Amino acid sequence: MPRKHAWPLAVLLAVGAIALSACGTTAGTAQPASQPAPSSSDSGARGPAPQSGTARTNKADEKAGDTAAADASADTKEKWVSLRAGTAGDLDPVVINGAGLTLYRFDKDSANPPKATCNGDCAVTWPPVTVAPGGKIFFAGVKKDDIGTVKRDDGKLQVTIKGWPVYRYTKDTKPGDTLGQGVGGTWFGVTPTGEKAGSGKPAPQPASGAGAQPSTSVTLYTGKNFDDFTGANFATVVANAGCNDLRGAFFALTTAGSTKIWSEPGCKGKSAVVAEDVSDVTPLGFPNGVKSVFLG
């Protein structure tokens, strides 16, 4: 009869140790696989991470996203979304999109947890602001932590501000239109903090930069409300440490940390330290705009 092979005990133990090692375990306890931490931009569904600045400063395709043609495909329109704190009609502040159109919130939705209830014919009149899972959300004047997405009944990701799903209104056809304000007593422009626009509350002032980490770059806009597309308005990015003179006067800025702004070239004149986006530097005492900045 053929003899059965007898394996030494030491060999069997060695093979077992190798198998355990390959499985990623250590002697004594099995370690669970680590899970990625949830993104602060999630608001009910996994979505794209927001990016500071406007669509133009981020060099987004202007034939896609908010500025895509009306007959463009859904995939093209959902490549990017822009959220910008601004004014429209009597609403100040209110969030507008990359085409300058007013964005709204619906009282029948909920913010905690986020839930979009405008579907079917409602969503035809009030198109939800949706973005592809791999798309981009640009923001200026809205806090990054307040931006998220929620999964709609049709499976699409709708952008949220402070948990509130946001929409457009089909009767608004040009920048400044606010024909959706107050419709049915349930539709209102949405503020950068997710509240109802037109409530009479003053726009929040940017926080002082005291104690904040110094910013390594700042984007400045010649137009108030982060306007880098109307007329001759434009934006410029400064990323050099120290004092930086600007070519012209700038009235808005986006920053990811503490930035010192000055009213005159050479970091002279009136100064202020800001740590958040500023839609209009005039109330801070800069009626003629910012003309130099200090980083670091």
39 pLDDT exceeds 90?
A: no
Q: Which of 33-37, 60-64, 208-212, 273-277 has the lowest mean pLDDT?
A: 33-37
Residue 36 structure tokens: 């990625």
Are the CB atoms for 241 and 220 separated by under 8 Å? no
110-120: per-residue pLDDT in tens?
Answer: 999 999 999 99
Close Cβ partners of 108 (under 8 Å, ≥ 6 residues apart): 117, 118, 186
DSSP 126: S
Q: What value does the mean pLDDT take over residues 89-100?
A: 96
What is the overall mean pLDDT for the chain? Answer: 86
Q: What value does the mean pLDDT take over residues 43-66?
A: 85
Are the CB atoms for 220 and 235 separated by under 8 Å? yes
Domains annotated for the chain, with CATH where assigned, are 50-189 (no CATH), 218-295 (2.60.20.10)
Close Cβ partners of 281 (under 8 Å, ≥ 6 residues apart): 250, 251, 252, 253, 261, 289, 290
15 pLDDT exceeds 80?
A: no
